Chain A
Amino acid sequence: MLSVRDLGVAFGAVEPLSGVSFSVDKGETIGIVGESGSGKSLTAMSVMGLLPLIGGRITGGTIVFDGQDLTKLPERAYRKLRGGKIGLITQNPMTSLDPLKKIGPQVDDVARLHLGMNANEARARTEEILGTLRIPEPALICDRYPHQMSGGMKQRIVIAMALAADPDVLIADEPTTALDVTVQAQIIRLLDDLVKQRDLALVLITHDMSVVAQTCDKVVVMYAGRAVEYGPVEAIFDRPRHPYTQALIACIPRGLDDTARLTGIEGTVPTVINYPKGCPFHPRCPRAEAICATDPPTFSVEGDSAAACHFAEVAHAQPA
């Protein structure tokens, strides 16, 4: 359905994203995980063709959707895909709706634009979608302004906008980060149901490994603008081969298990201007050796998964 190969993104001379690859099919969820600044949102913006909006450009690679390479798609044709075939859900529902416009018209836009509906048909469609998202009294909600609703409700509205034209692919960029914990679980469950009911391909961007474990089929782990490990979720969680993945998994709080608390990973993600030479993770890596500071690792493939670490073959023998 959607297949990204070797994607690179640059802003002027800096290149915060390079060599990112993943693919996702109908009825499938792929998780993209990584700490803040690892390039997750840039990946989402690239697929949406919205990089020019923030002043970036694609430097290489392909984004193939439905057989056509989106990196070569003219803007006019891209507009038909956006909101039509590919829907986007962003991180902060508090600021993702136009505060001056009522909810109804904001959602109606999608059906009018992509399904050629008139105002009445579009409103009926909007109310129907809101209904399927378990939003009570859709007609009343349509008449409200964004500031009159809770964050969780607004995020449902954003999801409704993304779904209104019956897309094939949904890209959710940290859809729950800004929400209360209880609401987070509801939204994740909602997305999970949608994938199954509508046979959607979902790209779920998150920094929460436990969400990946619960909902995703595949996962791409990103670090400093690069994919460092990818593969089926079971394989990655069973035998993480990249030290960064191992650290992320170790960070998942495990309920009663007192010893494995939220430890966090020592150090911080490097900024674009000082991406380290060699393996980008080496300043923070517990397994780093001399070679790591000089030579960038290549992917070591094992079955459907791959890890970019010089010691990927041996690393999984000593789980973190």
Chain B
Amino acid sequence: MILRYTFMRLLMLIPVSFSISVVIFMIVYLLPGDPIDNLLRVGSSAEDRAELVARYGLDRNLIVQYFVWIGNMFRGEFGEAIVLRRPVADLVAQNLPYSLTLGGLAFLFSSTVGMALGTISAVVRHPVLDRFMRGFILLGSTVPGFWLALLLILFFSVNLGWFPVSGAGGWTSLVLPVLTIGFGGVALVARVTRVALLDAQREDFVTLLHAKGLSSGTILLRHLMPHALLPVVTILALRIGWILGGAVTVEFVFGRPGLGSLLIRALGQRDYPVVQACLLMLALAVMLGTLIGDVAQASMDPRIREKKT
């Protein structure tokens, strides 16, 4: 059942991927600016320019360019960075691990701490704790990442000197970026967990679980948590892509290598192939995230598994 569901879900990704690839391909052409300008030395002739344009295939029909591009993508050939003059695949391979580490840790941090906080606040209904949680959630969902990053750097790195201001040397350099990206996630996951648990508690079947003589602890762990997890998984799945996206600015603020830094630099230089590859990676992460989320949900909920997709 779950296999069939996964297969159907994968089939659905085909049209989605196609549209995304077209959008990514087009975005670059809609942006003002031209990478060739960055390459040309001052005083180059029009012939030099035409030659460069021809070399990168920029003179051909857009549709042809798209198919050439997508064909290369399928073969894992991301081409050559126009400005950085290195294979794009190398650049991505070099930067991706940094982003994955940061994103993975931030994801783990926000999901575990968020679910724990949400569960505690749903179970221990204490007015002071409640007010604290509310404040925290509000803060977490409104404070922008880059601003929080600057605050954290100012306090922990500049004033206290506990963590490095920037760079990617050793685990200490990960603490602040992970906190920055994870903070909003913790608040979000905590809120969703809390609401989902409170909703689950109000369900009719909970009365009957108590009437069977089960203890509140057993009911929470075996019956309420799985229900609460359904919306949490949806949110977390969306977060996978979101965290990588959120990492874009945070990597930049902390001066860390990674897809985000690469993307921002490439954007500045109008380095099309690099921008496209980075965007493609991010889009892939978002799609994979939702796919994993949906499959995880289906594995937990028989009603979803049986729905005809």
The verdict on A79 contacting chain B, using a C-beta distance below 8 Å, is: yes
Minimum distance in angstroms from B206 CB to a CB of chain A:
8
Are the C-beta atoms of B212 and A50 separated by less than 8 Å? Answer: no
The B-contacting residues of A in range 208-250, CB under 8 angstroms, are none
Are the C-beta atoms of A100 and B210 separated by less than 8 Å? Answer: no
1/0 per residue, CB under 8 A from B, across A89-131: the answer is 0101001111111000000011001100000000000000000
Main secondary structure of the interface of B (DSSP, over half): helix
Q: B203 — nearest CB in chain A belongs to which residue?
A: A95
- Note all chain A residues with C-beta closer than 8 A to B215: 79
Are the C-beta atoms of B207 and A50 separated by less than 8 Å? Answer: yes
Given A95-B203, A98-B205, A100-B227: A50 and B210 interface contact (C-beta under 8 Å): yes
The verdict on B15 contacting chain A, using a C-beta distance below 8 Å, is: no
Partner of A90 from B208, B214, B227, B302 at Cβ < 8 Å: B208
Minimum distance in angstroms from B80 CB to a CB of chain A:
51
What is the CA–CA distance of A35 and B230 in the complex, to the nearest angstrom?
38
> Size of chain A's interface in residues, with CB distance under 8 A?
30
Are the C-beta atoms of A110 and B212 separated by less than 8 Å? Answer: yes
Are the C-beta atoms of B208 and A79 separated by less than 8 Å? Answer: no
The 8 closest A-B pairs by CB, nearest first: A83-B213, A88-B211, A95-B204, A83-B212, A82-B213, A145-B302, A79-B213, A96-B208
Chain A interface residues toward B at CB < 8 A: 45, 48, 50, 53, 79-84, 87-88, 90, 92, 95-101, 109-110, 113-114, 145, 147, 158, 161-162
Known: A90-B208, A96-B207. 12 other contacts (CB 8 A): A88-B211, A90-B211, A95-B205, A96-B205, A97-B205, A98-B205, A98-B209, A109-B214, A113-B212, A114-B213, A145-B302, A147-B302
29 residue pairs A–B, Cβ–Cβ below 8 Å: A50-B210, A53-B206, A79-B213, A79-B214, A79-B215, A83-B212, A83-B214, A88-B207, A88-B211, A90-B208, A92-B204, A96-B207, A96-B208, A98-B209, A99-B205, A99-B301, A100-B226, A100-B301, A100-B302, A109-B214, A110-B212, A110-B213, A113-B213, A145-B302, A145-B303, A147-B302, A147-B303, A147-B306, A161-B208
